Amino acid sequence: MGGSEAYTHLELAAIFAAFVAVTTLLSLVSLGASTMGGGPSPDSGAYPVLAAGEPHLAQIGEVTGSSSVPGLSGTHIDTLSFRVAHTGEGGPVDLSRATVTVMAGTYLEIVAQSRDPLPGPGMWAATLLRDSDGSMLLRAGEECTIRLRLDRPIPAGEALVVKVRPEGSAPCSITGPVRVPGAGANASSSPEKD
């Protein structure tokens, strides 16, 4: 009886070793095939793992903020507006595939894209027209305004960083003082870098 038990353990060990070998081989073949393809296909919806070293977008001018809640005007903001420009590096930037993240104090949110030019809470929109396929291409030298609305108001003086990350490139950091129309002083933000 002791011999058959040892034989069973050897069978299980051999099966496990074969499973590990086949899984490793398939993983290496899959990894090799994906690197030979030259990157993600635009139809895959996959976010690239490796990003370029330089952002393809740059902030132009100041960031303005306001509150959609009348009682909080001047002290809190939940609506932001800023301009970005294509730096001229690489081809057109498709803003329809960009990710926008907002960080302010303890507030962190990845805002969703809105099809409406005036975004609702937790959404952002760009002032670019969509192509027939739904893309919003920003070409070299062009500028556009991005508007976003947070899902809750934050204090106007809170340090604020907005990251706009187009697919396949490094994020553009939107920082600097937030101008609040009607407020006595500008709210400032720390110029954090990537």
* pLDDT tens figures, 106-123: 888 999 999 888 899 999
Q: Mapped to the 3 state alphabet, what secondary structure does the chain carry? A: CHHHHHHHHHHHHHHHHHHHHHHHHHHHHHHHHHHHCCCCCCCCCCCCCCCCCCECEEEEEEEEEECCCHHHCCCEEEEEEEEEEECCCCCCEEHHHCEEEEEECCEEEEEEECCCCCCCCCEEEECCCCCCCCCCEECCCCEEEEEEEEEEEEECCCCEEEEEECCCCECEEECCCEECCCCCCCECCCCCCC
Res 3: pLDDT: 63
pLDDT-derived band of residue 37, with 50, 70 and 90 as boundaries? low
Give residue 175's pLDDT band: very low, low, confident or very high (50, 70, 90): confident
Most confident range (mean pLDDT) of 13-22, 37-46, 142-151 is 142-151
pLDDT at site 36: 56
Check residues 52 and 15 and name the one with the higher pLDDT.
15
Q: Is the pLDDT reported for residue 17 higher than 90? A: no
pLDDT band at 129 (very low <50, low <70, confident <90, very high): confident
β-strand pairing of 107-113 with 172-174:
unpaired
pLDDT at 127 over 80: yes
User: Which whole number is the average pLDDT over 75-91?
Assistant: 88
% pLDDT > 90, the chain:
24
| Total residue count of the chain as it appears in this document | 194
- Determine what percent of the chain is predicted with pLDDT higher than 70: 79
Residue of higher predicted confidence among 133 and 33: 133
Residue 183 has pLDDT above 90, yes or no: no
Give the pTM.
0.63
